[in-house]
Amino acid sequence: MVSSALNQTSQGFDPQPSHMYMLSRRPASETQHIAKSAEIFHMTLGLLKEKASRRHKRSLSVSELLSVKAVERIANLSGCPRALQPTTCARDGKYRSISGVCNNRKNPLWGAANTGLARWLPAEYEDGENQPKGWNAGRQYSGFQLPLVREVSNKIMRGSSVAVVEDSAYSQMLVDWGQYIDHDISFTPQSSSQSAFSLGQDCLRTCSNADPCFPMQIPKDDKLSSNKSCLPFFRSSPACINAQTDTCHALQRQQMNSVTSFMDASTVYGHSADLEKTLRNLSSAEGLLAVNTKYSDGSRPYLPFVSVRPSACLQEPSSESAARVECFAAGDSRVNEILPLSVLHTLWVREHNRLAERLTRLNPHWGSEVIYQETRKIIGALHQIITMRDYIPKIMGREAFDKYIGPYAGYNDSVDPSVSNVFATAAFRFGHVTISPRLRRLNESFQEHQRFSSLSLHQTFFSPWRLIKEGGLDPVLRGLLGRAAALQNQEHLMTEELTERLVVLNVPQTLDLAALNLQRGRDHGLPGYNDWRAFCGFDRVESRSDLVEVVGSAAVAEKIMDVYGHPNNIDVWLGGLLERPAFGARTGPLFACLIGKQMKMLRDGDRFWWKHPAVFTPKQRQQLETHSLSRVICDNSGVTEVPLDAFRLGSYPEDFVFCGNVPSMDLEAWRERCDDGTYVT
């Protein structure tokens, strides 16, 4: 059944711009294989359950039918990979594995690509095992039916048409770095099948729930619907279970993280040996990454194009005869989704090649593999430093940072660094409400660019041609540095660019990011807002007055209660978003707690964290700390003036400095010495 649905999907699949979103989120072949095996496993359990329930004339759970041994056998027959044994880890690994395997020698799969997202609270499914909240029509929660996700979006996310409020402290770069770093640590693939496994319906055309179709039903008065009664939605691929370690959750559907959980710059290098190979320039003696051979940004390179052409990215509308600009290739397939992402990816490939060339001059005896690995180590460390030192405290607020993360006390091999389901699916999606409806492009004086005007957000989706044909990275970088982020505003939570014009999936209409996020949380069986408040040690919200207390607005609390009926029913993404941010923070207390716990685990459970004494020498650590995102921009673009902190909003010119005054690390600390103190030559 699974194979025939996948075959049906792949037949006649021709990359079109309308397929962009789906293509950018299409997992690598190794992930697809595991996802297919997991789908077979869950279909098998479902069919057995159905058959037994018919025979016994009552609803049965899989745990009543099958022993753990039998479940393990079904998983193996489905094609799920057997768990790695710890003995497979080399003792002397000096560098990270590309897939994250063996970072923890006792638990080699912790944080590795293609493993399940961590569950901090058990999943809540309507049948206890697989069916998302909202799957069975008429099902009540605390005496109420769950509201349709599009209704929540219409009534709470958009509100009145208030102008976007600008953040007085932080630049647009804060928002785009958040998305970039999110792509370094999590990627939940959605089902590769466009057809239902059981009856073969097309998920784009059916309005009934049948795995992997979980369409978003549309309220009667909805203007987006164009006379349709639902919008398509594909469930996330399930993860294969590991029955040895997951006995308590073994039979609940889990979702997969197809990239490594570690902050390891997998956005630059990929998360599998095959992908890594395609991104490298294997003929260079300097351990370089591959770059574009057709176009350049002045003297600086662009990312290479994808190998399968024609690709689905949009083309310049005006000129039919213009040469095609394909999608860019990078360590993460979402690189083309929006221009600032493509820009940040490009910066880091340039920075890798810049550092690799310098290390080659310092240590000519190293050879290309050592140079590549040493440079990759530095780039990974810079991702960690910029994120943990410069980004996270601004998001959570300093007080919450000290409470949940605190100073580094060394590597702890009992900490599981795997990204959690609630972090990836709800808490770290807080940034969706700070996305500005416009992308600014600025000239050398940080004014609107005379030739390349600012763009509406939807004009920046899947459009690498805009970088190549419209001025390169510099105008976009200046816009990210020189203009304010949008500030979350309870009266108008999400720009209509994302609720009305989001280009996703291969569907004729546009979709709604708020509704997608809510549906995704239900698809993943995330417990509700109140359960997560309790998890973080906060009081549960029991009444309207409690809700007014945490939200800070009687009108918003009223709207939430009208839509949800009971505080227990509030989806965690929405509840977390609507909390009043703490002083100096951009998230409320719940998301500060969840983000803080996750970041601490990512740091403390990573054997290669940059501060771990075995990773860099004290001199190297000292040099790494002098570096910054502003310095990376100075070294790899034509931007000559920057704020010292790329995330802080300043006025031009008084708050900007010339690149010559931005501190830079001295790579001399990486020059290899002999035992007698002389340099290796």
Catalytic residue among 19, 33, 183, 249: 183
* Closest residue by Cα to residue 168 from 485, 591, 381, 429: 485
Whether the CB-CB separation of 579 and 595 falls below 8 Å is answered with no
Q: How far apart are CA 626 and CA 430, in angstroms?
A: 30
DSSP 571: -
Q: How far apart are CA 582 and CA 566, in angstroms?
A: 25
Residue with tokens 């009540």: 140
- Alpha-carbon 256 to chain mean position: 12
* Closest residue by Cα to residue 137 from 211, 198, 214: 214
Task: Answer yes or no: 183 catalytic.
Answer: yes
Q: How far apart are CA 262 and CA 184, in angstroms?
A: 8
Distance between start and end Cα atoms, the chain = 62
Whether the CB-CB separation of 412 and 604 falls below 8 Å is answered with yes
Q: How far apart are CA 178 and CA 646, in angstroms?
A: 13
* Closest residue by Cα to residue 159 from 657, 565, 473, 492: 492
Q: How many CB atoms lie within 10 A of CB 394?
A: 20
Helix (H) or strand (E) holding 669: none
Question: What DSSP string describes 350-380?
Answer: HHHHHHHHHHHHH-TTSHHHHHHHHHHHHHH
* Closest residue by Cα to residue 237 from 89, 530, 469, 34: 34
Could you list the active site residues? 183
